[in-house]
Structures are given as C-alpha cells and as structure tokens.
Structure 1
Amino acid sequence: MHRLPHHAGHSRFRAIGNARAALAVVLAAGCTLALAQAQKGAPVPGAAGIYSCVDAKGRTLTADRPIAECSDREQRELSPSGMTRRRLEPTYTAREQAEREDRAREAAVQAARIADERRRERALLIRYPNAAAHERERGEALVQVDAVIQAARKRLSELADDRKKIDEELEFYKGDASKAPGVLRRRLDDNAKSVAVQNRFIGEQEDEKKRVNARFDEERVRLKQLWSGDTATTAR
C-alpha cells in the first residue's frame, strides 16, 4: 500500500475538518434565518402558507396565494397548523390612500381637540372646585376693573377742577378763547383732550366688565356639568 507522507496526511485531515466546519456554519446560518423569518411572521422557504379572508359578501375564502377578491381588505397568511403568520394590508389606489390619510388626520385633530378640552376641564375643576370659588374670583376680577374706572373718574374730577380755573381766567377775555394768550389756549385744549381720553378709557373698562361677566357666565354653564359629574357633553 502506498503511504502518504506524514505531513500530507495531516493536511488532508485539516482540509476535511475545515470543510465540515464551514458546512456547520452554513447550516446554522440557515436555521437562524428561518427562525427569524418565522418570528417576524414571514413565510419560511419550503413551508406552504394558506391565505384567508372574508370577502365583501361575507364569505370566508382560502387559497394557497393572496386572494384577488380580498385585495381591498385585510388578509391573513396562516401556517399549516392554522396559526396566523402575518397580516396583509389591503391594496389601495392613490385616491383611496389619500382619503385614508385625510380621515386619519381628521381623527388625530379631533382626538387632540377632545384631549385639550379634557385638560381645560380638569384645570377648571382644580381652579374652581365649587360655585363659591367661581363667584369669588368673578367678584375679584370685577373689583379690579372697578378700581381702574374709579381712578379714571377721579382724574376726570381733577380735570373738571382745572377747567373751572381755566374758565375763570377766560372771563377776562369775555369767554372768547381766541383772545386768550397761547398758554391759556393750550391749557384749554389739553384739558379737553384729557377729558376725552378718560371718558374713552372708562367706556373701555365698562366693556371689559361685560367681557369678564360673559366669560364667567360661560364657564359657569360648563362647570355646572362638571360639578354634577355630567361630562358626556363635549364642546363642538
């Protein structure tokens, strides 16, 4: 029998071992890939899948490939054991996809509006746990506005006193301002403008009182529902 050199025999055994190791790596990689696909619900090569759906007429259809009659609805891919491997989304036209996105946006806006309304309701209840607290804050707000009006009226009174002095000086000119010195005429003009400003300011503050009362009245309607626990009605 012909014998290989000692070093050649070792080389041959090493080559066989390397080949076996490479085969083991390939097999392990294949098993890992198959396991990952199965976990993701993706079809595993060599394993037949079953597709199932309920069509527009309410019939349950099954096939060994995606079902054309159910292209507009969700389908399920089942394993041979009947377990759901994955779900196939409907196939939409560009127009249908745009409509779905519009509906999703509208739903998101509506959900955000409702969430914001709920936050405002919670804030109202924290701030006004009862009717007495709400009325107390209304009164405080109105007192602040009245204080501003009172200060403006006090200024009007001061302007009225100043006007009396101006009129007394105008008597020397028989009430004819055109004959009065420029300084006196400017005082008269400034007084008239200041009176107009204060009257306009008082009118604005009276309007502010109306706005304050309107706001508290509107809050009171909603708070009555919240205090009673009736939160079914949402703002439109």
Structure 2
Amino acid sequence: MNPARSLTSFLPSAQRLGVCALAASALWGATAGAQTQGIYTCVDSKGRRITSDRPIVECLDREQHKLGNTGIVRQVVPPSYTADERAKLENKQRAENEIKARAAEEKRRERALLIRYPNQAVHDKERAEALAQIDDVIAAVNKRETALVQQRKEVDAEMEFYQSDPSKAPFWLRRKLEDSEKQMVVQKRFLEEQAQEKLRINQRFDEELGKLRQLWSPSTAANNAATLKR
C-alpha cells in the first residue's frame, strides 16, 4: 500500500489536490536539476577521453566540454591557470589587442588619406599651398631683414666717432647697437627655422605620396601618370 496515498485518503479532497500538486512540483524540480547539471568531458594529457558529472581535475590545464542530456556541447570551460600563467595570458592578450588596435587605426588613417587626396593632383596642390605659406612668411622676414641691415648701417655710422674707444659712446647708442645685433640673430634663427619647416613639409608630403601610391586604384594611378606628362 502506498503510504502517501493512504495518508491523503484521509484528507479532504481540496487538501489532497494541494499535496499532489506540491509533490509534482518537487519531482519536476529534482528532474530539472538533474537535467541542468550536465556531463563534463575532455581528453587528458595522455590522450584518454574522460567524462564526469563535475569538472575534471585531470583536465584543469585544458578545455573541457559540458554536454547537455542530448550530448550537445552547451558550454566550453576554459583551462584553469595559476596567477602567473593568467598574468602571462593577459599580457599576451593585451599585446594582441594593441596590435589589432594599431592595425585598425592604420586602416582608419589610410581611409582618411584617400578621402582627403583622391588623386595626386589634389595632393600636389596642397603641398604647393603649404610651401607657399612658408615662402610668404620668409618674404616678409626678408623685408624686415632689409630694414634691419639699413638700421645697422646707421648705427655703425654713428659708432665711427667712437672707434678708438667704443665704451665712450653714449648709452643710448650702445643700447641701439646691442638691440640691432640681437634682432639680426633672431632674424637669422627664424629664417633657419622656416627653412627647416619647408623640409618637414616636403618630407611629410613625400611620405604621404609613397603611401597613397600604394592605396590608389590602378585607374587613379594611370590618371596621375597622364596628368604628370602634360
């Protein structure tokens, strides 16, 4: 005789239904728990296939597959690493991510370069404009240099009276001579900087042109060559 059945037989019908529902729910929960537990499987370092209802110690250094009741892989459990091993793995992953990020950034720059310079004519025009701006600055500085040279001649003419002993020259005249020398030095340094800037501009455009020639399509390259021959 079923004890549960004999027990419920003495209960009112409503209570019997409640007990039965509770028992069914408990049974379903136990069954579901068994279904979600799964089976772990792996091949150890000796080539043996091992299965277990829990993570396998022999395979902590390698991936383990967690199978469902139908035998389908539901989860891939990664290897368990020591702190040192995990740090090395993270460093390796970080380095790989940095390489990928640099490659992606390089691709982005290449796309931006192609958008900005669809052909060599556009690139040559921008180079010429950049150099022209520097030339305008140099021309203005040269005009200033002409004025400084004239000013220096005037100072030298006034200092001729004190050639034998320049220390006897008036303070304002010695100060004027000193200022003239400083301005000439600044002028020379500035012109040298502008010359270096022109070199940097040409270097930058040369590097871009080398990259663009690799990126331009064959038809664009052909058009560039035809334009240069004109």
TM tier, smaller? 0.7 to 0.9
CA pair 225-22 structure 1, distance change in 2 beyond 3 A: farther
TM-score normalised by structure 2 residue count: 0.76
CA pair 47-211 structure 1, distance change in 2 beyond 3 A: closer
Does residue 141 (structure 1) correspond to residue 130 (structure 2)? The answer is yes
**Where has structure 1 moved over 6 Å in runs of 4 or more?**
none
- Give 1:51's match in structure 2, choosing from 18, 40, 44: 40
- Give 1:94's match in structure 2, choosing from 74, 83, 91: 83
Residues 54-203 of structure 1: matches in 2 within 5 Å? 54-56=43-45, 59=47, 61-65=49-53, 66-173=55-162, 177-203=166-192
Preserved CA contact (<8 Å) 1:53 1:62: yes
Partner of 2:14: 17
Does residue 218 (structure 1) correspond to residue 215 (structure 2)? The answer is no
1:87 counterpart SS class: strand
How far 1:123 sits from its partner (Å)?
0.9
What per-residue deviation string (whole Å, max 9, x for no partner) do you get for residues 167-224 of structure 1? Answer: 3333444575433222222111111111111011000110111111111111111111
Preserved CA contact (<8 Å) 1:74 1:89: yes
- Structure 2 CA distance, aligned partners of 1:123 and 1:199? 38
CA pair 119-48 structure 1, distance change in 2 beyond 3 A: closer
TM-score normalised by structure 1 residue count: 0.75
Preserved CA contact (<8 Å) 2:67 2:75: yes
Deviates more, 1:144-153 or 1:23-32: 23-32
Higher helix proportion, which one?
A: 2
- Structure 2 CA distance, aligned partners of 1:48 and 1:177? 103
* Structure 1: tracts of 5 or more residues without a match: 1-11, 36-43, 230-236
Preserved CA contact (<8 Å) 1:50 1:62: no
How far 1:166 sits from its partner (Å)?
1.9
Percent of aligned pairs with the same amino acid: 47
